[in-house]
Amino acid sequence: MLHKWLTEATRTRGSAKALVYRDTYLSWRGLQHRVERRVQEFGAMGIGKGHWVGLMLGNVPDFAILALALSKIGATVVPLDPTTGTRDLSFVLDHAPLRALITRPRGGLDANTPSATSAAGRDWVPDARDKKNDPVESRRRLQGTLLTCSIYKQPSEPPGKAAVVLFTNDSFGEPKGVLRTDENLEANAVLAAAALDVTPEDRILTTVPLYHAYGFDLGLALALRFAATLYLEDEVAPKRIVKLLKDQEIDLLPGTPSLYAGLAKLPTAKPFKTKRARFLSGGSELPEATMESFRQRYGLKLIPVYHTTETGMIACDRKAGTTTAAGTVGKVIEGVELRLGDGGEVALGMTAPLWVRSKACARLRVGAPQRPRGEDTPVGATDSHGWLRVGDTGHLDKAGRLFLDGREDHLVKVDGKRVALDEVEGCLESFPKVQSARVRVVSDPLGGPMMVASVVVFARSKCGAEELIDHCARNLAPYKVPRRIEFCESLPDTVHG
């Protein structure tokens, strides 16, 4: 599907800018030419139809080029976070039957960098005496790049047909791959474009990582499907972002509350003059103070959106800051059905679990969620009628506007990434000096959500906050590391959620 979109865009917009990165750009014809070269290279490597290939890359042109080349040969694109910790990477490789993994130098499974040992034995680099058990068949450097392609011995059969597999965390904090079909990708793009009024003349800037569903769906996929120009940025520096927004007259920006909080703090901020600006805020709750501060400095209203990896875009608030109440993510977009609770009547304003149904909803996954006691459908799964249990809870007001109230499980969202508080607490408590720990999420009015840990250390133990943060950084992905440590004699009498 991705390559089909490229072909159509090249036919209608051949010489127009397709992809812009820093001071360089590719036209649609130029992009297609780069893709064809990679298609031939993949063929020479033995990578073909039905194979799953991991792209452990950030927001760089190679991500788009390689994803499109894999799409043309019928392979499945598996975007992965380059900062994934060894534990999570082991889990991913145990459950995703990758034929190949493409990384930057020192990223992922670089030839010279041993990684964690997994139970299945796939995620490790043996020494010379054990080459017969090496899961890596060969390693190659992609032509004209510093990217390394590790090709694995023939993996097991994929669990289902998919165009793209996007990883998130399940209710227990474990990585879970969501299998997107061609139908899911098409529906996702069409529904989001209708809600946001996307046209080929739009300029889309993506600072949210493309390996994240939010950045993939509202950045790369929208640009490809509607032949819009995509600007990629892998350095989230407020001054640079503001310069891009103004100089390039960006129309559409999928962002996070923390991004807008950083932009709102710039002392030299001036109003934007872009006529069709649609600056989206998703991934976590948008504080009213951030929205108002941004509006005062730049003269634009941020648009809260509700988006998940399994469902794509669910709701958006195009009238943010005018007639809508603070905290809403707006109304459910056309083409998406929303249900509160198990299907019975729910009183107006009452909080209940959210269920979603649309053609964009992905039904298959790797690392299937466990079934809670007494529940027929676990969080993240779909029932027999096509309703997907999102895991979030919320309520509707009289005008039909959706408000998010919390989670059914112990997951929280930090800049769009799901984090299991139990996992972070377990990491802290594995430190020898820590007796117990409790992690919570607090919302800085101008800085967005952040994790704070309350820690009790053993008697006569001297422990500093830096020690604990370093310990977490060595064992967790960067977005899971608490930003503040508070030492106390006993844990606060609270529970998750």
Q: What is the DSSP letter of 208?
A: S
Q: What is the DSSP letter of 189?
A: H
242 domain residue, yes or no: yes
Looking at the structure, tell me whether residues 361 and 453 fall in a common domain.
no
Q: What is the DSSP letter of 248?
A: T
Angle between helices 257-264 and 238-247 (to 10 degrees): 90
Looking at the structure, tell me whether residues 385 and 419 fall in a common domain.
no
Dihedral sign, CA of 463, 469, 474, 476? Answer: positive
Query: One-letter amino acid identity for 65?
Result: I
Taking a C-beta distance cutoff of 8 angstroms, is the pair 61, 21 a contact?
A: yes
Query: In which domain, by residue range, is 235 found?
Result: 180-409
Which pLDDT does position 129 carry in this prediction?
35
Indicate the residue among 388, 409, 430 that finishes a domain. Answer: 409
174 domain residue, yes or no: no
Which pLDDT does position 125 carry in this prediction?
37
Which pLDDT does position 158 carry in this prediction?
81
3-class SS of residue 92: helix
Rounded to an integer, what distance in angstroms lies between the CA atom of residue 418 and that of residue 411? 6
Looking at the structure, tell me whether residues 451 and 345 fall in a common domain.
no
- State the Cα angle at 404 between 297 and 218, rounded to 5°: 60
Looking at the structure, tell me whether residues 429 and 336 fall in a common domain.
no
Taking a C-beta distance cutoff of 8 angstroms, is the pair 111, 148 a contact?
A: yes
What is the chain's pLDDT, residue by residue, as a tens digit (497 residues)? 999 999 999 999 999 999 999 889 999 999 999 999 999 999 999 999 999 999 999 999 999 999 999 999 999 999 999 888 777 788 888 888 899 999 987 544 443 333 333 323 333 333 333 444 567 888 999 999 999 999 988 777 888 889 999 998 776 667 889 999 999 999 999 999 999 999 999 999 999 999 999 999 999 999 999 999 999 998 888 889 999 999 999 999 999 888 898 899 888 888 888 888 999 998 878 888 888 889 989 988 999 999 999 999 999 988 765 544 567 888 999 999 999 988 766 767 788 899 999 999 998 888 755 544 455 787 888 888 899 998 889 998 888 889 988 887 767 777 667 777 878 888 888 888 888 888 887 766 655 667 888 888 887 778 888 889 888 888 887 888 888 888 888 876 544 43
497 domain residue, yes or no: no
Q: Which residues contact 173 (CB under 8 A, 6 or more apart)?
A: 410, 411, 418, 419, 420, 422, 423
Q: Please name which of 96, 95, 100, 90 lies closest in space to residue 121, comparing C-alpha atoms.
A: 90
Number of domains the chain is built from: 3
Which pLDDT does position 116 carry in this prediction?
31
Taking a C-beta distance cutoff of 8 angstroms, is the pair 355, 310 a contact?
A: no
Which pLDDT does position 220 carry in this prediction?
96
Looking at the structure, tell me whether residues 205 and 60 fall in a common domain.
no
Structure tokens at 470: 């370093």
Taking a C-beta distance cutoff of 8 angstroms, is the pair 364, 160 a contact?
A: yes
Looking at the structure, tell me whether residues 375 and 480 fall in a common domain.
no
Which pLDDT does position 128 carry in this prediction?
37
Which pLDDT does position 217 carry in this prediction?
95
Query: What's the Rg (C-alpha) of the chain?
Result: 23
Dihedral sign, CA of 463, 467, 469, 473? Answer: negative
380 domain residue, yes or no: yes
465 domain residue, yes or no: yes
137-146 burial code (b ≥16 CB/10 A, e <16): eeebebeeee
Looking at the structure, tell me whether residues 403 and 419 fall in a common domain.
no
Taking a C-beta distance cutoff of 8 angstroms, is the pair 229, 20 a contact?
A: yes
Indicate the residue among 409, 429, 446 that finishes a domain. Answer: 409
CATH of residue 16's domain is: 3.40.50.12780
Structure tokens at 447: 């800085």
Rounded to an integer, what distance in angstroms lies between the CA atom of residue 208 and that of residue 261? 15
Structure tokens at 405: 């109230």
Taking a C-beta distance cutoff of 8 angstroms, is the pair 434, 422 a contact?
A: no
DSSP letters, 431-477, are STTEEEEEEEEEEETTTEEEEEEEEEEPTT----HHHHHHHHHHHS-
Half-sphere exposure of 479 (CA within 13 A, CB side): 22
Find how far residue 27's CA is from the centre of its chain: 27
494 domain residue, yes or no: no
Indicate the residue among 367, 388, 409 that finishes a domain. Answer: 409
Taking a C-beta distance cutoff of 8 angstroms, is the pair 280, 254 a contact?
A: yes
Looking at the structure, tell me whether residues 360 and 247 fall in a common domain.
yes
Looking at the structure, tell me whether residues 445 and 371 fall in a common domain.
no
493 domain residue, yes or no: no
Return the H-helix or E-strand segment holding 427.
helix 421-429
Q: What is the DSSP letter of 140?
A: E
Looking at the structure, tell me whether residues 13 and 54 fall in a common domain.
yes
Rounded to an integer, what distance in angstroms lies between the CA atom of residue 140 and that of residue 194? 42
Looking at the structure, tell me whether residues 258 and 391 fall in a common domain.
yes
Looking at the structure, tell me whether residues 163 and 187 fall in a common domain.
no
- State the Cα angle at 398 between 396 and 401, rounded to 5°: 45
Q: What is the DSSP letter of 198?
A: -
Structure tokens at 129: 């005496």
Q: Which residues contact 295 (CB under 8 A, 6 or more apart)?
A: 301, 302, 321
442 domain residue, yes or no: yes
3-class SS of residue 186: helix
Which pLDDT does position 8 carry in this prediction?
96
| Strands 352-357 and 52-56, sheet pairing | unpaired
CATH of residue 431's domain is: 3.30.300.30
Q: Please name which of 316, 314, 311 lies closest in space to residue 381, comparing C-alpha atoms.
A: 311
Tokens 């010279």 -> residue: 112
